[in-house]
Amino acid sequence: MNTNPHESRGPSETQHITLRGPAELADALPFMLGFHPNDSVVLVALHGEHGRFGGRVRLGIPRSPQEWPSTAEHLAECLVDGCARRGTRPDGIVVFLCQDPEPGETGRRTMERLRPFAQRLRTACGELDIPVYEVLCISDGLYFSYCCPDTRCCPPDGTPLALTGTSVMAASAAYAGIQVRGSLREMQARLKPRETPGDDRQRTALNAAAAVIVPKILDGPPGQGRQEVRETTLKLAREMLRRFGRPSAEGEGLERTPVAGLPRRTGTAESDAADDARITPDEAAALILGLQDRETRDRAAEWMEGRDARAALRLWGALARRCVAPYGEHAAAPLTLAGWVAWSTGDEPAARVALGLALEADPQYVFARLLHQACNEGLDPESLRSCLRAEREGREAAAAKARRGARRVRPGARARAAQPLKRSAPAGKRSGPAGRKSGQAENGIGAAGSARPGGAGRVFRDAGARRSGQRGTRSGR
């Protein structure tokens, strides 16, 4: 079957690769996703008489078999509806079930255990009038076919997967600039807290930051405390971006990504540890708590291009790793920002992983849900980038106008304040008009100053923006 095995916007769009049989299908899966899926069910749409690959959906395999029927129906509907929104319903579907054996279990036993789920998936697709051409189980370095009855190509005990980098698919993907970055589990681990002796220190810093930031937002004058926290958070974030973007660290653990021409991390534990050492527990705590404010998070999302994006991606990952228990839900904000920057710079696999973890941390986090849906539907992130650029430019223009207005007002205020000193009237009569005029000038300055950044409309207007109570500073999503 002919396929464009990756939805990147690079030279691979004109690359056609023919896959023949279950072995080459199993070998192609990591290149379609950008990583080796663990504990996942993947559905891939096929289009046309030659079976061109189209949309795909991935979900973790539910542990309870009671959830398999509803999961199968949901996945089939999600894939078919998504393809229909992009233009055409699929003409067929290929299903992959990927799961490592349980302790004491073999690959074949895993395949047999998942057989009812495979049958449910075939039935769910059939109810939508979409045939399933192949269902493969990948486990313990073997692949098994639920559809092929020929034991010569698909023996009951499974067939070993091709060695990494030795297949035609691997060679074609390397030529097209498509990379496979380890397993899904490894990619997720880079964005999760690690159980280390430093967790207690980070937890203490988060508790201390919450004790300071939450009262400012909830108990201070209306709007004033929130604005103070917002400005402090963004100022600290800018300092962190400069720190993470210094030339001495820029080459650590990076490689070029052919899609966007930006550096991409190799994923080594050493490079992540180096990033973790660049931010103190107190700094991380202040940023994590501050980013729970929706407008602060949206302002931070503007660091999405060029050198800012490189530094921001590393910073958001480091913050996600600092969200130790019981602050796991607070990781939704930095994880969503990491997903947005990855998507904006052309790294869709990393974006899906980060956004998926954000939704695990907080399933109702609206920004993550919208970005995850847009990424999965193949939308162009440029529309969001344009909105964020316009937001930033409007805020900068308002600030410049405010500064010009302040410069025009101040000389007049000084002249009017000095004028009564030249009169011959008694001092008591002089003071009233002078005081009133001076007060009018101060009002003028204040009015001009009110156009400073922060008054412009926000790009992402999520539901439930002004929440309070249990989550404290998590003021909007």
Name the 3-class secondary structure at 96: strand
Residue 7 has pLDDT above 60, yes or no: no
Q: What is the rounded end-to-end Cα distance, in angstroms, of the chain?
A: 43
CA distances (Å), 377 to each of 80, 200, 244, in order? 12, 40, 32
Those residues whose C-beta lies under 8 Å from the C-beta of residue 393, and which sit 6 or more positions away, are none
Identify which has the larger pLDDT, 352 or 452.
352
Give residue-wise pLDDT tens across range 277-325: 999 999 999 999 999 999 999 999 999 998 899 999 999 999 999 999 9
Q: Is the pTM of this model over 0.75?
A: no
Identify which has the larger pLDDT, 170 or 187.
187
At residue 265 the predicted structure's pLDDT band, cuts being 50, 70 and 90, is very low
Q: For the ranges 2-16, 80-94, 257-271, 398-412, which has the lowest average pLDDT?
A: 2-16
At residue 477 the predicted structure's pLDDT band, cuts being 50, 70 and 90, is low
Residue 412 has pLDDT above 60, yes or no: no
Name the 3-class secondary structure at 145: strand
All structural domains of the chain with their residue ranges: 2-176
Q: At what angle do helices 269-276 and 306-321 cross, to 10 degrees?
A: 90
Q: What is the pLDDT of residue 263?
A: 41
Residue 423 has pLDDT above 50, yes or no: no
Q: What is the pLDDT of residue 476?
A: 53
Domain 2-176 fold is Cytidine Deaminase; domain 2 (3.40.140)
- Please name the residue that has the structure tokens 């430019």: 393
Give residue-wise pLDDT tens across range 331-369: 999 999 999 999 999 999 999 999 999 999 999 999 999
Dist. CA 12–CA 348, nearest whole Å: 15
Q: Beta 92-98 vs 132-139: how paired, if at all?
A: parallel
DSSP per-residue string spanning 413-471: HHHHHHGGGG--S-HHHHHHHHHHHHHHHHHHHHHHHTTSTT-SPPS---SS-S--STT
Residue 130 has pLDDT above 90, yes or no: yes
- Please name the residue that has the structure tokens 């919208």: 370
CA distances (Å), 347 to each of 28, 260, 411, in order? 19, 8, 53
At residue 4 the predicted structure's pLDDT band, cuts being 50, 70 and 90, is very low
Residue 64 has pLDDT above 90, yes or no: yes
Burial 79-88 (b: 16+ CB within 10 A, else e): bbebbeeeee
Q: What is the pLDDT of residue 9?
A: 34
Give residue-wise pLDDT tens across range 201-241: 999 999 999 999 988 888 767 778 889 999 999 999 999 99
- Among 476, 477, 414, which residue's Cα sits nearest to residue 445? 414
